[in-house]
Structures are given as structure tokens and as C-alpha cells.
Amino acid sequence: MSGPDRWSFLREFTAARIALGRTGNALPTANLLDFQMAHARARDAVHAALDMDLLRGQIADAGIGLEVAEVNSEAPTRHAYLQDPSKGRHLAADAELPEAAGEHDVVFVIGDGLSATAVHENAVATLAATLKHLEGWKVAPLVIAHQARVALADEIGAHFHAALSVMLIGERPGLSASDSLGAYLTYEPKPGRQNAERNCVSNIRPAGLKPELAGYKIAWLLKEARRLKLTGVKLKDDALEALPGGGAPVLGS
């Protein structure tokens, strides 16, 4: 049996699997079981379905006073969604959205993406934290989308004549995090937008970028996008430098 790995002190600085040690030519049993559990959590997150009752309860508890619409993408099943990503980028033919009722400053879409777990744990908190910084903005009805990819928000944003769209979506799970949420911002959303025309705030979760701080960053980017009339590679994220008191807080602390 081998002793502790000489680099084990580095593990306090990262969630990455480093300095795990070994027993003979294999991992120690505890670390092997931990790896297998993380892999199982990642698989469960990918295949889990959105819990609409949970989300609606969270929305009510957070006091988010938006009309809520529920839609599906063209992917009829989770299997089809995972097999053909393009189907997650378009609304199903029978999807129903509320009437546009004029132009909107922003529309928020919550999509399951590749981790419903991330949505259940972080999406509503992030949305609430963002909205509190958008006083006076005309916000479209909130859309919750099943089998969603990021580009689905382009079609939804165009429907609501929204100047900006924000897709809050579960990110692909890793073996260190199965609960990571991403926020994708697009100016003048419409079908055909490219990823270079978006901004992304990623790793939103308690152990990463906490929802409260993520909401501040998203709102800051939205305001800058509206002022500059663009998103994407030309919109630089200086949100943390603009925090009161200056400087960025320690993330995940």
C-alpha cells in the first residue's frame, strides 16, 4: 500500500482530480468509488427531465411576477435530443407562445440543456438576481423549454420582438460538477445568429460563480449590450471591475 500522494496539499485549491494516490498500480478504493459516483451524477444530470412543478414553485417563492410559458423543441424525446443537436435549436411545430404585445427589452428562457440538475438548483435564483438589477425594463413572459439548445432563444426572442434574449441552460456535466448553469446573451435574437454573436456567463453554481453574482454580471452585460447595440466578441465583460468597492470577490467562497 502506498502512502498519501506528495502533491495532495494542492487539492485544497481545485476540485480537479489530482494527487489521488495509488494502491499498487490502481487508485485507492475511496477515490475510485468517488469517481464512479461523479460519473453517475453526470449521467443522471444529462438524462433527467425538467421538474415543472419544482420550477413553478421556485418562481412563485422568488416573487418573479412574469407570465410563464412552457414549450418543446423539435426533439420529441430525450434520446432524439441527444442524437441530433439541431432539433433542440428550433421550436416544435405545435409550440405555443403568448402574444408578443409589442416590443420587449429582454426575454428570459430557461432550458434544460445538458443538465436539468443545474436548472433545478440554480436557474430561478440566477433569474431573480438578474431581474432586481433591471428596474424599468420591459421583460417578456418567461419561457421554460424542454430539450433546448442555446439557439432556441433566438426564435423565441424574435417572436417577442425582444432587443435581447438570455438563455439560462444546463451546461454539459463534468466529473467535478454536474450542476453548472450557463447564461447566453444575444442582441437582436433571430434565427441564424452565430455563437460569436453571444456572450456567455458560465459555471453558475454555489461552488463556482454564485447565482447572486452571476445575476449582477448578466444584468451588467445586458445594460452594456443595449447601450452598445451588440453582444458577442466585441462586448467585453468588465462587470466585476464595476462592482461597488472595486475588485472581484472570491468566487465560490
Helices (H) and strands (E) in the chain, counts: 7, 6
For the chain, list residues with pLDDT below 70: 1-4, 239-253
How much is the pLDDT for 248? 44
What is the distance between the alpha carbons of residues 215 and 54, in angstroms, rounded to a whole number?
A: 21
Closest CA to 221 of 253, 198, 190: 198
How much is the pLDDT for 12? 77
Determine the Cα angle at 195 with ends 193 and 199, to 5°: 105
Closest CA to 213 of 133, 117, 118: 133
Closest CA to 238 of 250, 251, 225: 225
What is the distance between the alpha carbons of residues 24 and 90, in angstroms, rounded to a whole number?
A: 52
How much is the pLDDT for 241? 62
Q: pTM of the full predicted structure?
A: 0.85
Residue at grid coordinates 475510485: 32
Residue type, position 52, single letter: M
What is the distance between the alpha carbons of residues 122 and 118, in angstroms, rounded to a whole number?
A: 6
How much is the pLDDT for 104? 97
How much is the pLDDT for 244? 56
Distances (CA, A) of 17 to 8, 114, 203, 209: 10, 22, 18, 20
How much is the pLDDT for 92? 97
What is the distance between the alpha carbons of residues 219 and 206, in angstroms, rounded to a whole number?
A: 19
Q: Domains in the chain, ordered, with CATH?
A: 52-242 (3.40.50.11240)
How much is the pLDDT for 245? 54
Distances (CA, A) of 62 to 9, 59, 84, 121, 127: 40, 5, 35, 13, 9
**The C-alpha cell of 230 is what?**
451588440
How much is the pLDDT for 249? 43
